[in-house]
Structure 1
Amino acid sequence: MVREMIGKTKNAKVKSLPWLRRMTVLLVCLLLSEVFIFTVTYRHLNQSIQNERIDSIEQMSTLISEKLLLLRQTYEDKVRQAALVITSNHVQSLDQGQELLLAFEQLYLLAEDGSCISLTGERIVLSESEEIKMLKSSDEIRTDFCTVQAKGDFWVFMSPISDVTIDGKEFFGVIMLVDANSYAEAAATALYENQGASYVVDQQGVIELRPTESTANEYFGGYNLLHTLQEKKVDKRQILALQQGLEQQHKVESIAKIDGEIWRIQSFPESGGNSIVIAVPISITAVATFDGMRNVIIMIGLTLLTVVAIAAVWICYYVKKGQQIKLEQAKATLKSDFMNKVSHDIRTPLTAVIGLNDLLLHNVDKPDIVADCARKAKKSGEYLISIINDVLDMSRIESGKLRISHTAFDMKELLDTVIQLETYSSCKKALNFHLDCPDRIHRGYLGDAVRIKQCLVNLISNAIKFTPEEGGVTLTYRECQESVTYTRACFMVEDTGIGMSEEFMQQMFHPFEQEQSSLTSAHVGSGLGLAIVHSLVSLMNGTIHVESELNQGSKFVIELPLERIELSESKPEKGQSNELPEYMRGKRILLAEDNEINREIVAALLSGLGFSVDGAVNGAEAVERFLSSSMGYYSIILMDIQMPVMNGLEAVAAIRSSAHMDAQSIPIIALSANAFEEDVEKSLAHGMQAHISKPVNLEAVKKIFIQYIH
């Protein structure tokens, strides 16, 4: 039965595949057909639009020609009529002519001696004109463009007259001056929303009149139209045809590509040997049609996008709905895995502390066991703090809150400190641990010495931890001066330990990643060390890489760019040590701590050093005790930060602002579990002299007391 069902399923799949293929082929063919039809339709539509554009330009040229013809006929009729009035009425004086031709403006008479005078007696000087010379032997109305001295350019209409003597002077012609702008407004004008233009061009191709506000001037801005077309690399045959049309005064039509734009250029003859040349970019002569076509395409595209978007939304909805549970499960697994690892790493040393405490309680009468349990409990507590610090550092790095300082430090002193910190651990395993550093190095740099030490200590601790007994661990330091002010410092931590696999090195800088082997299983750790080192090096604009093979050892290389400085020479104070001087015995200390056990522990430690301690359970009580004390009663104040009623910062502000004689001089030291750099800065900014992080380090307390208690 099962075989039969499997066979049916296979047959169904086999049958479905040809159907799917046929459907896919059909859809592809349909899509190709639609693309072909759309292409053909678009080309046909584009050709129709082009034909429409050509017809539109034809109509425009006809309108310009008819407008000029009508304007010319109007002025020709006027000048003809004026000549007829003069000859038919046998005008013999200018006053008589003025009375008869009062309705005519800008009317002048041409004398046989070449002078030109108006009916009011105004004399003008015309530029030379072949048309005026031909007027003497002509019986037709003539027109030309002339310049009148001191008046400007005019469109001149001339009519011949014969046997006319006025005021004893013979005249052979009547002229009428028309402002040249009247002609220009009709002949040289911007077309199609200032994209095209019509130009007045002479027989040599010189542009005599052009519109002032057309963008076509950007294409035809030259002095000679034919030369401009040559510069624009228009087809020579088209230029030659236009040249012949201008010279022979006949109509020419052409389509030319100029600066990537298709232009329709058309010329037709005009009076006086000039031609009107119309130039229009085809792409903008049918804007409405293109807009309509574009709108249709946009609507089709929007419709398709809407359909696709709706389909995508539904697909995403169902995909997300199907993956939501998996995602939540993955998040829960990651969270659970994180909590399990952190819980394990914290509970391991915590269990040791509690267990050793039980041993202490059951063996209080055995000093050797008590001492051994106390030492082991302290080491477990220190390890617990290191785990917590790693988790907090990683959290602050990932949230972007960890800051890198930029302070002066001594490189030689930094390296010596690192070696001192790790010498004891290496000696316990009989390892050959040493520093490989040149005798002469530059010592002064600006950077974060604390974070550099943290990185090196982390790498060296790992190397010592995972190197078998009697192996070797080497810290190598080299420097490469890149400029006058910067050096690339290179730190190499090399060991002869168990090495790492290629798979692990791909993810070694991820949090909680640890290589699994018989040796690593014997050691505990948070798995955050390398991740923190990698992040800190990146924050310091450096690089880190590793070379390793299984059972062949490992080499970590850190390179950091550091700014060089010159350290000021300072001599160490004579007799400086952490031993408390005799004058401190009996000094009174005010301790503000809300946690009863912590208060008892710190008070006991300080009493053991010979101090007298007064306790306060919150900031308000600390302020009250200080204000009620006499001058010099308290030598120093240890102030917790997080306390009820009044916190430590508020208490410090109240003390500093009080009228007590010691308000400004008494040293106040922060004693807080807040150990980050900004917490230290906040304490100092609120009037404290120093900041001690919990758990309390007795040696650090001694240094502070020696510095501030006098």
Structure 2
Amino acid sequence: MDKQKSSAGQIGYEYDTLMNLLHVSVSKHLLDDHFTLVWANDFYYELIGYNKEEYQAAYHNLCDTYYMNDELGIHDEELWNQIGEEVIRTLDAGRDGYTLVAQMRRRSGEYIWVRMSARFTDEYIDGYRVSYTAMMDVSDIMRMEQEQSVTYDNLPGFIAKYKVGKMLDFTLLDGNDRFFAFFGKESWKNMEYPLFRDNVLRNQAVFEAHREALLKGEQVHFTVHMSDQRGQDAWLQINGSCVGYQDGDPVYLVIYIDITNETELRQMQRQLEDQAEKLRSALKEAEEANRAKSDFLSRMSHDIRTPMNAILGMKDIAVSHMEDPDKVKDCLKKIGLSGQHLLGLINDVLDMSKIESGEMALRDDVVSLPEVLENIVTIMQPQFKERDQKFSIRLQCVIHELFVSDSLRLRQIFLNILSNACKFTPLGGSITMDVAEVGTEGGTAYFIFTITDTGIGMQPEFIEHLFTAFSREKDSRVDKTEGTGLGMAITKRIAELLEGTIEVESEPGKGSVFSVRLPLKIEESPKLDASFPNLKIIVADDDAVMCEYTVEMLQNIGIYADWVDSGEQAVAKVLEAQKKGEAYDAILLDWKMPGQDGLETTRRLREVSEGELPILIISAYDWNDIEQEAKMAGVSGFLQKPIFASTLIRGLRQYILGESTEGERSESEHISDFGGRHFLLVEDNALNREVAQELLGDMGAVIDTACDGLQGIKAFAASEEGFYDILLMDIQMPVMDGYTAARTIRTLNRTDAGTVPILAMTADAFAEDIRAAKDAGMDGHLAKPLDGVTLKREISKYLV
């Protein structure tokens, strides 16, 4: 028995010695979850770099622990899964063993290639089947095969081998002839070779996207855009496989395939697809825009027919009541109002058409801000009065008054906003316009115009489309939507043309606030005599902001000033000053104050004040409404809000110092009629001729007429020099248009040909039409339809 044991031991020793000499690892494992090591020969431990005691202490003979929890922190999960999957496939197939070539890590971190040959036995330990595995290091053989593969020029594309560092730096290890023919033989220099460096940097984003896979040694497939050594660009498909490790870094065998033609075709296809998508999108937008305009015109047709029905209906009523002058007068008034409303609708559509086509141009006029705001007050006052709304304009830090801008467009911005504020503010509500000069720079003053109302406010979805052309959002809180729905879109476009902005804040039930920011080029204002000898004035206005600003202006021109916010306080203050012997030299009273208004305060002051105390009413409302009553109450004069420095100075000089300010106005402003004046009216439309003749004839002018431009030239040429005081010229006429006629008249050999005023009288009312008239030698421009007030005012400017 002892001899048998001795003989078996000798055989085992000889077997181990033989296996070690052959460099073959032999090990015995359990087919459990850990592939537990039962026994191994010395070369097994030599192969992985541990001795038996170290391996057992570190991993307790559990092979999965060696792969998954290495002392270096390296996890070879994929390698372990590769072995496990092969074992499962073998068992499922009913085979008793397998052979597998795979990588295995040594203790140093280096990876080697091993050929595993496993055999499953019928032996069981603790219920687990036993497997014997023989492993041989075949790294040299694999390296030879891989290096051999690099020389295969019959493979598609060209081939190279790189080491990939942890900083994603590439080191070329080998390449075939095709590789060096494409990239150049200096590719060995790696990043020191400009072409190599440029190609790497050019595709850095692609490499970064595959960083994790590259550093893990996983297979990669991606496309790069590189240049060859002749500077030709190419699209290359890269297929890379990790074939080993060097100094712990993965080594990749890379095959490049040139797919330039295919890629360029794909790019061209993508471009065509992108263009087609853009065309589809543009077509959709155009269809939506056309549909919106069609819907808009359909909805607006009712608004156009409404004033037209009123005009035609009132005409019929007037004809049937010719014997009743009051009835006819009422009908004519309503026809006029309906006509103005219809004109507003038409102007909105024409304005929007000009803006959309990019043809709207701005005029460069000398604009008086006081005149612009006074004009706005005059236009809006009847609407505010009708709805019993309180309206005020307040100034803040306004230093400059004259600017170079387009007064028509400025008024249009503010009138559009104020009209909406009036329309959507309930009866008895209030609307305020604050005008603030917030700074100057390089000859430009920057203004913020803020219009605040106590109206119904707007829903968020309404605000979203407020400035969109041809989009009229219906608000269920109002009975109907009036107008074109273009007003705010036009307002925004005009503000942008003036290099400004418009913003709105609004909440349902809390009113709205519109803020318009505009840069205005400063025009030097004529200096006014602002010397006042020791005056003392009191201001009474329930608007504290207005009071403070007026007092500040008075103090700036050397006048001592106080302010109170009610009529009662004004009377008390005047009495107190009289008792102290420090009587006021004048009082400025707001017309509409709660409790005791301006007129009642005037009566009380006349009862208690000593001497003829000048009392001036300041108001944004029409002076004519209270003129008679105010004079009877003892009011000395009237100042129009908003009160600018120039307005205040002129008012004080006229009403307090008793000086005349007439000399500051042009002579034309005082022409009350055109008696004895001779006008030549050139107009091809008979009805328009009749309207102009009647209006001007009522003002005392003698009117001669011509039906086209050529007739107009002949009539002027046949007249005595200086006979005609002014020529009124239509533009669109048969035979000869107005522009040509004006140019011809300016060239006639007579002394008045170059001086006689020629005014364009046309329905072409845009800035470019005004400019064209001036280019033709005309002096001014009158926009149709004509009204008596405007006609008289504009013609008067050109008569001496």
TM-score by structure 2 length?
Answer: 0.51
**Matching residue of 2:524:** 566
Q: Residue in 2 aligned with 1:456?
A: 414
What code does the residue aligned with 1:46 have? Answer: A
Shift of 1:498: 0.7
The code of the aligned residue for 2:773 comes to S
Aligned to 2:105: none
CA contact (8 A) 1:473 1:495 kept: yes
Deviation at 1:418, TM superposition (A): 2.5
1:151-207 residue CA offsets vs partner (Å, 9 max, x unmatched): xxxxxxxxxxxxxxxxxxxxxxxxxxxxxxxxxxxxxxxxx99x989xxxxxxxxxx
1:636 equivalent to 2:726? Answer: yes
Distance in 2 of aligned mates of 1:519 and 1:290: 66
What per-residue deviation string (whole Å, max 9, x for no partner) do you get for residues 69-95 of structure 1? xxxxxxxxxxxxxxxxxxxxxxxxxxx
Asked if 1:506 is matched to 2:468, the reply is no
**1:584-663 residue pairs with structure 2 within 5 A?**
584-663=674-753
Tell me, what secondary structure is at the counterpart of 1:473?
Answer: strand
Distance in 2, matches of 1:327 and 1:505, equals 21
Partner SS state of residue 403, structure 1:
coil
CA separation of 1:547 and 1:354: change in aligned 2, threshold 3 A: same
Matches within 5 A, 1:341-352: 341-352=299-310
Residues 485, 305 of structure 1: alpha-carbon distance in 2 compared, 3 angstrom cutoff: closer
1:407 CA displacement: 4.4
AA in 1 matched with 2:159 = L
1:379, distance to aligned residue in structure 2 (A):
1.0
Root-mean-square deviation (Å)? 4.2
Partners of 1:491 and 1:372 in 2: CA distance = 38
Deviation at 1:626, TM superposition (A): 2.0
Paired residue for 2:353, among 395, 409, 412? 395
Residues 196-345 of structure 1 mapped to structure 2, 5 A cutoff = 257-258=191-192, 296-302=258-264, 333-345=291-303
* 1:464 maps to amino acid: C
How far apart are 1:46 and its partner, in Å?
3.1
**What amino acid sits opposite 2:263 in the alignment?**
G
Q: Which residue of 1 aligns with 2:326?
A: 368
CA–CA distance in structure 2, aligned partners of residues 384 and 477 of structure 1: 31
Of 139, 159, 179, the residue aligned with 1:45 is 159
Secondary structure class of the residue paired with 1:46: strand
C-alpha distance after superposition, 1:131-161 (max 9, x if no partner)? xxxxxxxxxxxxxxxxxxxxxxxxxxxxxxx
Task: Using the TM superposition, give the Cα deviation of residue 548 of structure 1 relative to its aligned residue in structure 2, in angstroms.
Answer: 1.0
Amino acid at match of 2:374: D
Does residue 682 (structure 1) correspond to residue 772 (structure 2)? The answer is: yes
Helix, strand or coil at the partner of 2:722 = coil
Give the corresponding residue for 1:269.
none
Q: Is the alpha carbon distance of 1:42 and 1:408 closer, same or farther for their aligned partners in structure 2, counting shifts above 3 Å?
A: farther
Does structure 2 conserve the Cα–Cα contact (< 8 Å) formed by 1:485 and 1:563? yes
Contact 1:578 1:699 in 2 (8 A): no
**1:536 maps to amino acid:** I
- State the TM-score, normalizing by the size of structure 1: 0.57
Distance of 2:504 and 2:491 partners within structure 1: 12
In 2, are the aligned partners of 1:594 and 1:618 still within 8 Å (CA)? yes
Q: Are residue 489 (structure 1) and residue 472 (structure 2) matched?
A: no
Measure, in 2, the Cα distance between the counterparts of 1:608 and 1:286: 91
Q: Which has the higher helix share?
A: 1
Counterpart contact for 2:296–2:471, Cα < 8 Å:
no
Change (3 A) 1:472 1:514: farther
2:757 alignment partner in structure 1: 667
CA contact (8 A) 1:357 1:373 kept: yes
CA distance in 2, matches of 1:285, 1:661: 83
Distance 2:793 2:357 in 1: 34
Alignment of 1:380-419 (within 5 A): 380-419=338-377
- How far 1:492 moved relative to its partner? 0.9
Q: Is the 8 A contact 2:758 2:779 kept in 1?
A: yes
Equivalent AA in structure 1 for residue 260 of structure 2: I
d(CA) in 2 for partners of 1:314, 1:691: 48
CA distance in 1: counterparts of 2:159 and 2:766, whole angstroms? 73
The answer to whether the aligner puts 1:468 opposite 2:426 as a matched pair is: yes
Where in structure 1 are there 5+ consecutive unaligned residues?
Answer: 1-39, 58-191, 198-215, 217-253, 264-282
In structure 2, relative to structure 1, the CA distance for the partners of 1:626 and 1:600 (3 Å cut) is same
Contact in 2 for aligned 1:426/1:464 (Cα 8 Å): yes
- Percent identity reads 31
Query: Contact between 2:421 and 2:455, CA under 8 Å: does it hold in 1?
Result: yes
Q: Deviations over 1:592-623 (max 9, x none)?
A: 11111111111122222222222211111122
**3-state secondary structure, aligned to 2:479:** helix
Counterpart Cα distance in 2 of 1:622 and 1:630? 14
Match of 1:533 among 491, 496, 506: 491
Deviation for aligned residue 1:299 = 2.6
Relative distance call for 1:496 and 1:629 in structure 2 (3 A) is same
The CA deviation at 1:700 is: 2.8
Contact 2:684 2:733 in 1 (8 A): yes
Deviations 1:225-246 (A, max 9, x none): xxxxxxxxxxxxxxxxxxxxxx
Is the CA contact 1:579–1:702 (under 8 Å) kept in the aligned structure 2? no
CA separation in 1, counterparts of 2:749 and 2:491? 49
Contact 1:56 1:285 in 2 (8 A): no
Task: Give 1 or 2 for the bigger CA radius of gyration.
Answer: 1
Letter in 1 for 2:358: G
Q: Equivalent residue of 2:676, what SS? A: coil
The one-letter code of the counterpart of 1:552 is: K
1:262 to 1:434, Cα distance in 2 relative to 1, 3 A:
closer
Deviations 1:366-387 (A, max 9, x none): 1001111111111111111111
State how far apart, in whole Å, the 2-side matches of 1:314 and 1:622 are: 57
1:532-571 Cα shifts (integer Å, max 9, x gaps): 1111112222222111111111111112233445312377
Deviation by residue 1:402-438 (Cα, 9 ceiling, x = unmatched): 1234444333443333233322211221111111223
- 8 Å Cα contact 1:49-1:286 kept in structure 2: no
Deviation, 1:390, is: 1.1
Amino acid at match of 2:731: I
Q: Residue 358 of structure 1: which of 302, 316, 330 is its match?
A: 316
| 1-structure distance, mates of 2:430, 2:696 | 42
Would you say how many aligned residue pairs link Structure 1 and Structure 2? 457
- Counterpart-to-counterpart distance in 2, 1:631 and 1:565: 38
Q: Tell me how far apart the structure 1 counterparts of residues 666 and 384 of structure 2 sit (CA, whole Å).
A: 31
**Alignment partner, residue 389 of structure 2:** 431
The structure-2 alpha-carbon separation of the partners of 1:260 and 1:552, relative to structure 1 and needing over 3 Å to count, comes to same
Q: Give the direction of change, closer, same or farther, for the CA distance of 1:290–1:566 in structure 2 (3 Å limit).
A: closer
* Distance across 1 between alignment mates of 2:741 and 2:482: 42
SS for the counterpart of 1:494 is strand
The reply to whether residue 706 of structure 1 matches residue 668 of structure 2 is no
SS at match of 1:558: strand
Distance 1:335-1:371 versus aligned 2 partners, 3 A rule: same
**Is the contact between residue 365 and residue 406 of structure 2 (CA under 8 Å) also seen in structure 1?**
yes
The secondary structure found in structure 2 opposite 1:336 is: helix
Q: 1:361 to 1:428 in 2, by over 3 A?
A: same
**Secondary structure in 1 aligned to 2:396?**
coil
Write the letter of the residue equivalent to 1:642: Q
Contact preservation (8 Å) 1:631, 1:662: yes
Displacement over 6 Å in runs of 4+? 40-44, 54-57, 283-295, 306-310, 313-317, 326-329
Q: Which moved more, 1:48-57 or 1:602-611?
A: 48-57
